[in-house]
């Protein structure tokens, strides 16, 4: 392990460096009381605590709150791009940071950073690195669990959410809207003349077109918005905390963005456009009523020339 300066330098862990050091091998917790006084005590405490959850966020919060008993840390941040997970604990305005890339063999387990107002000294860095050893494998198990859950709610072709995820998410949004008056809108999107792409270039090309549209749409959405595959070449977009006026702007922007997208097949540029129907939720309507209302607007957009949005009035 190379020395790490208290900034944004990165240390890569491999399996050999993740072995538990002999001086802090886990021992029975009997006899421990109050706050741990050494990294060995803290290691034993964390080793037990981190076996109690498969939720990444809960693991990291336990880790952050426990290590503060020995090492002053103002904030912890974690990012795992593969599962779109970003977590932050504590006061993140601290100016000094030390970061670690967590890897097990060739498996990337995310980036973890510690922040505080004062620089970390070499002894504190050594303590942090020792404690990270007891986090890594519980974290790996939690990420595997998270990936399994995500895959169960994800369309296998495009990576968008599937129908089950869509229904669960919209049911939750409707409950929040009814209870707290929180706005949300949905956009129903359909690829124009998709059958012609399949007929001319084949279904594999059609699959690539679907994936390209999903990537383009997702790149234009906020992190709080969600995209679901509704069926075939039809998708649904959930715009959280968004009224009809704002959803109208988003829908027009998505329509233009897909139209500008460059997609090629067999050396030819294949123009792709989408039609959209959009509506803001109106309590106390049901999910079925909202979807039916939006579907009618999508039908209107397709039969009014395509490559456009039809939005329900505010």
Among 129, 173, 208, 233, the active-site one is 233
State how far the Cα of 118 lies from the Cα of 288, in Å rounded to an integer. Answer: 55
Higher pLDDT, 8 or 206: 206
- pLDDT for res 13: 56
Give all domains of the chain, ordered by start, each with its CATH number: 10-152 (3.30.450.40), 163-311 (3.30.70.270)
Pairing of strands 264-265, 268-269: antiparallel
Q: Catalytic: 233?
A: yes
Distance from C-alpha of 209 to C-alpha of 186, rounded to nearest angstrom? 22
Q: Which of 10-14, 29-33, 130-134, 255-259 is the most confident on average? A: 255-259
Residue 239 pLDDT greater than 50, yes or no = yes
Identify which has the larger pLDDT, 267 or 256. 256
User: Helix, strand, or coil here: 223?
Assistant: coil
Instruction: State the average pLDDT for the chain.
Output: 86
> pLDDT tens digits for 73-97?
999 999 998 887 888 999 877 678 8
Among residues 27, 56, 50, 24, the alpha carbon closest in space to that of 38 is found at 24
Residue 219 has pLDDT above 90, yes or no: yes
Q: What is the pLDDT of residues 242-262, one digit of tens each?
A: 999 999 999 999 999 999 999
Q: Which tokens in the block code for residue 241?
A: 């905390």
DSSP-assigned letters across all residues of 66-104: HHTTTS--SEEEEEEGGGTEEEEEE-TT-SEEEEEEEEE
pLDDT of residue 147: 86
Task: With cut-offs at 50, 70 and 90, classify the pLDDT of residue 129.
Answer: confident
Instruction: Judge contact between 194 and 206, C-beta under 8 A.
Output: yes
Burial (Cβ within 10 Å: 0-12, 13-18, ≥19) of residue 160 = buried
């Amino acid at each position: 392990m190379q020395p790490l300066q208290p900034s944004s330098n990165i240390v890569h862990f491999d399996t050999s460096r993740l072995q538990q050091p002999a001086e802090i091998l886990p021992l029975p917790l009997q006899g421990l009381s109050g706050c741990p006084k050494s990294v060995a005590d803290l290691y034993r405490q964390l080793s037990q605590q981190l076996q109690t959850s498969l939720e990444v966020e809960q693991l990291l919060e336990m880790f952050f709150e426990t290590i503060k008993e020995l090492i002053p840390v103002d904030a912890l941040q974690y990012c795992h791009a593969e599962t779109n997970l970003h977590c932050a604990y504590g006061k993140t305005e601290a100016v000094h940071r030390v970061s670690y890339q967590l890897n097990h063999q060739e498996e990337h387990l995310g980036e973890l950073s510690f922040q505080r107002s004062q620089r970390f000294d070499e002894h504190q860095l050594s303590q942090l690195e020792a404690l990270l050893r007891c986090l890594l494998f519980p974290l790996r198990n939690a990420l595997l669990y998270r990936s399994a859950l995500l895959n169960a709610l994800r369309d296998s072709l495009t990576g968008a959410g599937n129908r089950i995820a869509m229904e669960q998410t919209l049911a939750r949004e409707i409950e929040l809207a009814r209870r707290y008056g929180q706005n949300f809108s949905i956009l129903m999107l359909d690829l124009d003349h998709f059958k012609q792409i399949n007929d001319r270039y084949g279904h594999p090309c059609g699959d690539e077109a679907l994936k390209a549209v999903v990537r383009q749409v997702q790149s234009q959405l906020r992190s709080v918005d969600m995209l679901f595959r509704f069926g075939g070449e039809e998708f649904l977009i959930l715009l959280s905390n968004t009224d009809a006026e704002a959803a109208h702007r988003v829908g027009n922007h998505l329509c233009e963005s897909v139209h500008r997208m460059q997609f090629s097949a067999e050396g030819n540029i294949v123009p792709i456009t989408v039609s959209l129907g959009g509506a803001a939720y109106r309590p106390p309507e049901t999910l079925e009523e909202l979807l039916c209302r939006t579907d009618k607007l999508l039908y209107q957009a397709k039969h009014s020339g395509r490559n456009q949005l039809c939005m329900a009035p505010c």
